Structure 1
Amino acid sequence: CPVCKSDKYLTPNLKLLVSPCFHKMCESCIDRLFGSGPAPCPMCHLVLRRNQFMSQIFEDLAVEKEVRIRKRVAKVFNKRPEDFPSLRLYNDFLEEVEDITFNLMNDVDVAETEAKINAYEMENKDSIAANQARMANENRFQSYQEELQKQEKEHRREEYMQQLEDERRQKEQEKTDLIKELVNGHIEEEEENEMGLLMLLVVVFLFYFYVGVHQQISSSRPCNATICRPQTIISIKTTNRFTSKHIITIWTIDNALMDHFGHGYGRGR
């Protein structure tokens, strides 16, 4: 602090504020000097009030000074291009604003510049207020548009998340259905295999029965070309409907037995 010479090394909680004349002072000195009312600045003797001190935003005090001066000047000189009959007049207006800003930043003819600002503010009080109101409306409209865009983005994000959730549920349902189908198919396959095994046992029984009869026929009648014929193929086929594989069991029976026992019943049986 330039007044009490305190620093953050000895006082870690030291907080410096900036005056309108852009001089730093700590909070303790501000309370001591300006707590009872307006008082002159210890550095430049400009009369200040306690509520005029503000926190420093930028590290460089010169940048802090320029930003504040430009905000102050723009608040008064707030005309727009549509307020002038020609572009040349608007450019002259901007040049005048830059001259005022330069004088205040570099402390050139400060009193004359301040008087010029006050005179312009008194002469254009109504237009300044109208432009400030218009700017406030534009800022509110801009905030409203930003809020709408934010809500729209949030709505699109919710729709996208809902779509992802629906896709996930659909995949889970498809997986569940596939598992159920596989389980049911496995049960049906076991039933088909059991039925095929039963048919196989029947064929085996018939085969051994035919073999026994064939032995009796062979012992009573010699085999010749007219009796001994090629064998008939009997097959049992079961199908796995998931793998599309066929399981074929083949049994052969002498046609002589078929002629002997199939007489009167048809070869197809």
Structure 2
Amino acid sequence: MATYAVGDIQGCYRQLRKLLEKVGFDPCKDKLWCAGDMVNRGPDSLETLRYLKSLGDAAICVLGNHDLHLLELAAGGEPYRRDTLQQVIEAPDCAELIDWLRHQPLLHHSERLGWCMVHAGLHPDWTLKKAKKRAAAIELELQGEGWREFCRQLHHVKFPIKEPARHDPTRLLFAAAVLTRTRYCTRDGYFNWDVRTGESSNKKDKPWYNHAALAWAGDCSVVYGHWAAKGLVKNQPHVLGLDTGCVWGAKLTLAKLKKGGEMKIVAQVS
């Protein structure tokens, strides 16, 4: 049995199938970890969702910011200019796909492998236990009757830059942003939501995984996506970044995850 991880698919269904064919992926015995952003910007979000859903327990997919945006649209939110999600919204099986999507996790951890998966990143002060707790609280909202209202709050919201107090109503929104939008933050937990490409002008900002003291680092290694500008990140301790920009004309990357936080890049397709 092999465990593979893939970065941001973003509707690049043809490349996904080609990638899995390269390694002889067998859903009867192998696992596929998808690091979020399964949909949007690419041409085949509908077929991508249908395929991943059809894999059943063989696919473990964490939600990314574009996946949450699809849930926002299904909840009555407004589209962005470059969205390619209308095919999903108009599909006859849209309701089934949305129901499947909102029951996917924000964080997945394999104790056996020593790997954790999120879409974007983790807070420097979160242990793995705390990160799981934050993710579970969001999942509870997404899977509950009030999921539409919660998703609409995510649309064009100004996320807090530091974790709010326990009973602050924006605390869950902050946690959702950390897990699905993080790039730069300071060691003392101030997050920069504005920089998407290039370097931050704040000297205290570093990539979320690049601070000297990280509470989660002793608990696991983290595989993530989201940051196409960084490309393949495999030379940093504790992390593996797999967003290699397929939707922007670059590549889709597949890694084989091994025990003890070890991994191997096994295939790439354009």
TM range (shorter): under 0.3
Say which one has the larger Rg. Answer: 1
Greater relative contact order (Cα < 8 A, sep 6+): 2
TM (norm. structure 2) is: 0.20
TM (norm. structure 1) is: 0.20
Please identify which structure carries the higher helix content: 1
